[in-house]
Amino acid sequence: MWARGALVGFGIFLCAGSPAIAQELRIGLASEPTSIDPHYHALSPNNGIAQHIFDRLVSTDATERLVPQLAESWKVSEDGLVWEFKLRPGVQWHDGSPFTADDVLYSFERVPAVPNSPGPFTYATKGKTLTKVDDLTVRISSAVPSPLTPNDMAAVYIVSKKSAAKSATPDFNSGIGAIGTGPFKFEKYTPGDQIVVVRNDGYWGEKAAWARVIFKPIKSGPSRASALLAGDVDVIDDVPTTDIEKLRTDARVDLSQVASNRSIFFSMDQFRDESPFITAKDGAAIKNPLRDKRVRLALSKAVNREAIIGRVMERAALPASQYLPEGYFGILPGAKPVTYDPEGAKKLLADAGFPNGFKLKLHGPSGRYTNDARIIEVVAQMFTRVGIETAVETLPPGPFFQRASQGAAGGVPEFSMALLGWSPSTGENSGALKPQLMSFNRDKGTGTANRGRYSNTEFDALVDEALRTVDDKKRAELLAKATQMAIDDTAWIPLHYQINTWAAKKGVVVTPRSDELTLAMGIKQK
């Protein structure tokens, strides 16, 4: 039995030109990874770099369909409790040692043991027991049927037991522990400056087109576009929305675009009686209003999504009603975004006991998502118009995610309300519902990215049942029902789905990916 991969919306692909073959590729990245350790942080910039150095048992193509990687094939037992993965023979680590089942088992043991992880990969490993059959066969068993095990395998990077067992996260960042089986080898990581990888000529699969790749973090969108036009880099990702049309008509540049599976949304503190960044208008302490569903819905109604898409995103986005757009497995079909209704928002606030509103500080990253800081500022103005006096604080992505995950006393999320984004690694809706909205439980690996600590036992039960339901039709129905429940609760505030845009110098062809990763393996010369 084969788990299904999800397909995505549309693609736009433009290219022309035929420059001379070059050996070095320079990529301007909008977002810098927080570590080279592939188990440290489940974050797209980290995953993008990790895929150059490390492999997984199962990979995904540009439209998120599952494809074999270190596992050549997999099958499931009739009761759905045991998956068997046949590993690829002849694979070598970058240091020349052979890849075996021992490395797979060690990688799964390491995932929950990485210290201070702000976004662990335990959502993909919890509840699974790995057994070595022989050097090239691994069995993964669970107490209940686990139809998404192959999808989960696409989230877990396999590290060398030999090198990783004596390496902490800083050792990966220095290169000591960054020994993979991937198409590139680690050369250098200078935070804030560059990440350099070189071609692995002993790679088991298709050899990379580039001998050396330099990733340059360039946080500013205009600066990335300028760097491309000046010839300082060959490719940029997350093209500034204000520059898309200008670059589209520039003869020196090719664009590629695809609809993203990433939703942008706000999480809200729903677990504290008093929230740290919410007060009465006069600054006095008040009970946390975000625990009232009416207040959460009022905030959602106060957001003019079409205005954000038109004025901030320059139409390079689609309004969101849930975590994934139409066409993905397990969504709620036909769901509509919350209608902009400022008067309705004011009435809900009054009904909840806040006729004069309250004071709120919004938090978010600056330079992680397209136009993130601008979005937060615009939404703050929208909240202020309905009576919620709103301030804004943005932070660099690294400190932001650390504080958003465990910045408050006791290692709990710090912020009252924060802008976030999510791109499900499973390619289906459970890949958002499990980490984002299931009750936080470190032991079970649920709610690992639930930074508002939304908790609903009925919702948890529905998603739990879906995760052990092998029948696709029934699983999709359960996930849709759970989504409806979370929407009815206003468990989070969806804003929009991004449209991913890359720009490259003429003749360099970028394969656009719905997961927004910028992979040198998908960049060729025409």
Structure tokens at 470: 């092998």
Residue 13: the pLDDT is 33
Dump pLDDT digits (tens) for 130-171.
999 999 999 999 999 999 999 999 999 999 999 999 999 999
For the segment 79-89, the average pLDDT, to the nearest whole number, is: 96
Longest CA–CA separation in the chain, Å: 68
Given a contact cutoff of 8 angstroms between Cβ atoms, the answer to whether 417 and 271 are in contact is no
Dump pLDDT digits (tens) for 432-446.
999 999 999 988 889
d(CA 420, CA 67): 29
pLDDT, greater one: 272 or 18: 272
Dump pLDDT digits (tens) for 325-344.
988 999 999 999 999 999 99
For the segment 300-317, the average pLDDT, to the nearest whole number, is: 95
* Residue closest to 93 by CA, chosen among 81, 106, 103, 79: 103
Report whether pLDDT(21) > 80. Answer: no
For the segment 175-190, the average pLDDT, to the nearest whole number, is: 97
d(CA 492, CA 476): 21
Given a contact cutoff of 8 angstroms between Cβ atoms, the answer to whether 177 and 37 are in contact is yes
d(CA 156, CA 399): 24
- Assign 445 to helix, strand or coil: coil
Upper half-sphere CA count for residue 514 (Cβ side, 13 Å): 26
For the segment 310-322, the average pLDDT, to the nearest whole number, is: 94
Q: Predicted confidence band at 22 (pLDDT cuts at 50, 70, 90)?
A: low
* Residue closest to 361 by CA, chosen among 282, 418, 287: 418
Share of the chain above pLDDT 70, in %: 96
Residue 327: the pLDDT is 86
- Assign 466 to helix, strand or coil: helix
Report whether pLDDT(7) > 70. Answer: no
- Residues, the chain: 526
d(CA 297, CA 280): 19
Upper half-sphere CA count for residue 352 (Cβ side, 13 Å): 23
Q: Predicted confidence band at 64 (pLDDT cuts at 50, 70, 90)?
A: confident
For the segment 172-190, the average pLDDT, to the nearest whole number, is: 97
Report whether pLDDT(11) > 60. Answer: no
pTM, rounded to two decimals: 0.76
CA torsion, ordered 189, 418, 451, 482, to nearest 10 deg: -120
Dump pLDDT digits (tens) for 478-521.
999 999 999 999 999 999 999 999 999 999 999 999 888 999 99
Give, rounded to a whole angstrom, the gap between the first and last alpha carbons of the chain.
39
Report whether pLDDT(18) > 60. Answer: no
For the segment 38-56, the average pLDDT, to the nearest whole number, is: 96
d(CA 282, CA 506): 57
Residue 19: the pLDDT is 38
The overall average pLDDT reported for the chain is 93
Query: Other C-beta atoms within 10 Å of 235: how many?
Result: 25
Query: Other C-beta atoms within 10 Å of 508: how many?
Result: 21
C-alpha distances out from residue 374 to 143, 301, 387, 394, Å? 46, 19, 20, 10
The segment with the largest mean pLDDT, out of 113-117, 425-429, 455-459, is 455-459
Q: Which DSSP category does 98 fall into?
A: B
Report whether pLDDT(119) > 90. Answer: no
For the segment 51-70, the average pLDDT, to the nearest whole number, is: 94
Q: Predicted confidence band at 123 (pLDDT cuts at 50, 70, 90)?
A: confident
CA torsion, ordered 347, 348, 353, 355, to nearest 10 deg: -30
